[in-house]
């Protein structure tokens, strides 16, 4: 039986859905998901970490079960996603916590770190990029859209919102793709397919360019504040390639890098390997 609680909290009119497990007085780990998924991607990791940590995993606006009333006129940018998550951490009185950043969760989490550097106890980056070196050829079509945000280019990106592409992100790079539960990509696709959600995702695709512009600031934060960093990466990920993991050592030589023989979502097939690395890393830093 799961011990994960399902909760909601209001942040500036947004009902932020989140999963929580573990004791309130335990060290906190904040799990930030990416595209095209939600906190559901962490369902198994939450259960593994909860005996020792307070584990919290919110759904970003535009994803999962977080509800953004249309009358708010919420603009789907990474700055705004981060503002919501910063408010979320304050609403839950999270004063010290480690962040686990993946995909979109990386630019959101690193904006959070810039805003609240004193709160961050450690960073676990699982295919969570902060370097140009980590961007694979997958991004070529998006770069074209950034340079020419025409309607044709925007419409062309709807190919990234299909069931086939959603499933691809889970199975590509996995030696045993048949072990990936179909409810993962099926749920993601169902939530992506809600009325109005395609435009939300296309807006975020365009805004992703702002994350690249912030890479120098993210890297300066790492140099200046020197948080403990573990980059545990699916080395066969075609989206955020493994050079992105190795790049952390260029600004933080003491960063730990561990490559898993998996793809973009290695938690599905490599949970135990990643969990053990996380536990060893956090224990090493007395967290």
pLDDT in tens, 224-234: 999 999 999 99
Whether 264 is catalytic is yes
Q: Stretch 244-253: mean pLDDT, rounded?
A: 98
What CA–CA distance (Å, rounded) separates 273 from 118? 30
- Residue 95: name the closest of 75, 116, 125, 110 by CA: 116
In this predicted structure, what is the pLDDT of residue 2?
Answer: 72
Res. 21: pLDDT tops 80: yes
Q: How confident is the model at residue 130 (pLDDT cuts 50, 70, 90)?
A: very high
pLDDT score recorded for residue 1: 57
Please tell me which residue in 33, 258, 264, 270 is annotated as part of the active site: 264
CA distance 123 to 282: 10
**Alpha carbons 134 and 245: distance in angstroms, whole number:** 7
> What is the C-alpha separation between 214 and 110, in angstroms, rounded?
9
**Full strand arrangement of the beta sheet holding 229-234:** 5-11, 14-21, 54-58, 28-32, 97-101, 120-125, 229-234, 256-260
Alpha-carbon span 99 to 121, nearest angstrom: 8
Mean pLDDT of the chain: 97
Give the residue from 74, 35, 29, 70 showing the smallest Cα distance to 49.
Answer: 29
Residue 237 has pLDDT above 90, yes or no: yes
Please give the DSSP secondary-structure letter assigned to residue 95.
-
Average pLDDT (200-223) is 98
**Residues ≥6 apart with Cβ < 8 Å to 172:** 236, 238, 263, 264
Give the pLDDT mean for 266-287: 97
Question: Across residues 44-69, what is the average pLDDT?
Answer: 98
Q: At what angle do helices 140-147 and 197-207 cross, to 10 degrees?
A: 80
**Averaged pLDDT for residues 5-20:** 98
Share of the chain above pLDDT 70, in %: 100
Apex CA 110: angle with CA 253 and CA 129, to 5°? 65
Q: What is the pLDDT of residues 150-168, one digit of tens each?
A: 999 999 999 999 999 999 9
* CA 160 to centroid of chain Cα atoms: 18
Pick the residue with more confidence: 136 or 32? 32
């Amino acid at each position: 039986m799961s011990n994960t609680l399902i909760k909601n909290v209001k942040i500036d009119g947004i009902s932020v859905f989140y999963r929580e497990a573990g004791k309130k007085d335990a060290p906190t780990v904040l799990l930030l998901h990416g595209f095209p998924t939600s906190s559901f991607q962490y369902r198994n990791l939450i259960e593994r970490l909860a005996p020792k940590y307070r584990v919290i995993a919110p759904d970003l606006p535009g994803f999962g079960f977080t509800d953004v009333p249309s009358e708010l006129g919420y603009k789907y940018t990474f700055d705004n996603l981060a503002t919501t998550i910063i408010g979320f951490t304050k609403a839950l009185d999270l004063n010290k916590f480690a962040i686990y950043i993946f995909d979109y969760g990386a630019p959101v989490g690193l904006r959070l770190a810039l805003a609240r550097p004193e709160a961050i106890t450690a960073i676990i980056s699982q295919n969570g990029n902060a370097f140009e070196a980590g961007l694979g050829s997958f991004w070529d079509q998006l770069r074209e859209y950034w340079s020419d945000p025409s309607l044709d280019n925007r419409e062309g990106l709807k190919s990234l919102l299909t069931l086939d592409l959603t499933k691809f992100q889970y199975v590509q790079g996995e030696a045993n793709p048949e072990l990936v539960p179909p409810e993962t990509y099926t749920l993601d696709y169902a939530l992506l397919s809600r009325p109005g959600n395609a435009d939300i995702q296309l807006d975020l695709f365009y805004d992703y360019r702002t994350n690249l512009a912030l890479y120098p600031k993210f890297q300066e934060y790492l140099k200046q504040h020197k948080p403990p960093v573990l980059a545990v990466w699916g080395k066969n990920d075609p989206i955020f390639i493994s050079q992105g993991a190795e790049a952390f050592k260029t600004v933080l030589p003491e960063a730990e890098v561990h490559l898993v023989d998996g793809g973009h979502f290695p938690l599905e097939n490599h949970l135990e390997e990643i969990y053990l690395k996380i536990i060893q890393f956090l224990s090493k830093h007395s967290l």
